[in-house]
Amino acid sequence: MEREVRVRFAPSPTGPLHIGGVRTALYNFLLAKKTGGKMILRIEDTDQNRFVPGAEDYIRESLEWCGIELDESPWDGGPYAPYRQSERKPMYMQYAMQLIESGHAYYAFDTAEELDEMRERLKAAKVATPQYNAITRMTMKNSLTLPEDEVKKRLESGDPYVIRLKVPRKEEVRLKDLIRGWVMVHSSAIDDKVLMKSDGMPTYHLANIVDDHLMKITHVIRGEEWLPSAPLHVLLYRYLGWEDTMPEFAHLPLLLKPDGNGKLSKRDGDKLGFPVFPLRWVDPFTSEVSSGYREAGYIPEAFINFLAFLGWNPGTQQEIFSMEELANEFSIERIGKSGTRFDIQKARWFNEQYLRAKPDAELAGYLLKALEEHNISCSPEKAEKIAGLMKERVSFPQEFWREAAYFFVAPTEYSEKVASKKWNSQSVAVFTDFRNELSTLSDFNADTVKDLLVSILERHGMKIGMVMQALRLAVTGAEAGPDLMQIIEVIGREETQNRIDAAISALSQYATA
């Protein structure tokens, strides 16, 4: 009988969640959703020295903003609680002891100075990668080299020690990765990793394997940086007797800098002006502020859609996907092997598409909020109409106010470039008639306003294209924008007349014969 798919996202609370981590969480979530499985979140906080206050809350809030739902977590509980490794501390030692008793692990009593001396000896001997392994372990202070009675005495007297995995010297370790195929590593390239630290806390390697087994994880989808550790994990599963239920592995390609050279970092985002974190983060130690996609105005659905395509593709031309559609189409087999360049312009494009697909009434909410901050009153109906006119011209919600301010505030400055080319005595004559005759319209709307302007232009023997940019300048102060007649309808008759009067007065020096 097939096992229920159970995936996990296992971040460490050592700072803000990088978008690469969000992508890992997303791919896990999509697989769980597609298969009707479970999405588990486990906080891996065994390294207490790197713990950062607020980081766990940040992880939770980030995933909630993204719409990544959890079935089991430290906050919602579940059948395999607790879901923080620090709270699971008592259970790990028994598995380390099992490895010692079966001859697959050993006690090591080496001091930091002795470890440094060993590395220096190896460097002097031109060893490319100095490490504690099947060869060097025999020159160190551990339960493989010390007499049994001395080991017992050291343990009883409370001497500090770590427990290391005893990696075989000559063995080929094979692992089938769902993205990369078969991965083979010779055991001579694997060092004797520490499994239990001297403070009694497990390292990532032991805790990760034990927890994945006990939580019945079926698929481990994680970043490429963990691929070198995967053979070690295979050995642990084997030595603990869990090889038959070992999860399937999928190591995701890196998110690369926009130029493709190296892994995307916070520094790249700072340098190129885009966030690398989902939410704004304030460092509790330095008060340094890092920008977030939420605060930059990205819609979470657009952010997730963009992120899904950084390494995966559906094999079709479709680009816009809801979360449900992503889950239906998702497959690990369609994740690429090579790194993906980060393209912030594509993220912006996704945001634009999602904004434009929203109802005008919802977009009006963004504008009304900004107007309230500027103490400007506006009816929901008017805001909805403005939002509908402006949505093709904005990329982010906060731009509705910036781009549409002229609907509420008359221009006080005018483009010299447009005025010098388009403002002249002929246009002023047309605008004067237009301004006066607006009062004669019994039904004031975009169509009647345009008909009036066309009729006046015909009297003056002019085409509409000869005055439109100058009229836009008079009414809005801008060089471009949505349909001008629609703008005039929203602004209203009296305000339009006042703005034309103000422009004629302010730009008189250009109105030469």
Which residues is 6 bridged to in the sheet? 38
The amino acid present at 154, given as its one-letter code, is: R
288: phi then psi, degrees, rounded to nearest 5: -65, 135
pLDDT tens for residues 452-482? 999 999 999 999 999 999 999 999 998 889 9
Mean pLDDT of the chain: 94
| Residues 267-272: contacts with CB under 8 Å, at least 24 apart | 268/342, 272/344
Q: Put residue 172 in one of left, alpha, beta given phi > 0 → left and psi -120 to 50 → alpha.
A: beta
Residue 513 has pLDDT above 80, yes or no: no
Return the closest-CA partner of residue 311 out of 275, 279, 335, 277. 335
Q: What is the pLDDT of residue 267?
A: 87
| 266 annotated as a binding-site residue | yes
pLDDT tens for residues 57-69? 999 999 999 999 9
- 202 upstream amide cis, omega within 30 of 0: no
Return the closest-CA partner of residue 14 out of 64, 50, 61. 50
Q: What is the 3-state secondary structure (H, E, C) of 327-375?
A: HHHCCHHHECCCCEECCHHHHHHHHHHHHHHCCHHHHHHHHHHHHHHCC
pLDDT tens for residues 288-302? 999 999 999 999 999
What is d(CA 347, CA 306) in angstroms, rounded to the nearest whole number? 6
The answer to whether residues 122 and 136 touch, using CB atoms and an 8 Å cutoff, is yes
Residue 48 has pLDDT above 90, yes or no: no
pLDDT tens for residues 368-381? 999 999 999 999 99
Confidence of residue 1 (pLDDT cuts 50, 70, 90): low
Stretch 17-32: mean pLDDT: 97
Q: What is the pLDDT of residue 128?
A: 86
The pair of structure tokens assigned to 256 is: 């690369």
The answer to whether residues 239 and 35 touch, using CB atoms and an 8 Å cutoff, is no
The answer to whether residues 200 and 194 touch, using CB atoms and an 8 Å cutoff, is no
Catalytically active residues are 266
The amino acid present at 378, given as its one-letter code, is: C
What is d(CA 112, CA 128) in angstroms, rounded to the nearest whole number? 21
Q: What is the pLDDT of residue 270?
A: 87
Residue 104 has pLDDT above 70, yes or no: yes
What is d(CA 297, CA 284) in angstroms, rounded to the nearest whole number? 24
What is d(CA 26, CA 149) in angstroms, rounded to the nearest whole number? 52
Confidence of residue 266 (pLDDT cuts 50, 70, 90): confident
Residue 163 has pLDDT above 70, yes or no: yes
Residue 31, H or E segment: helix 19-35
What is d(CA 394, CA 403) in angstroms, rounded to the nearest whole number? 8
Q: What is the pLDDT of residue 406?
A: 94
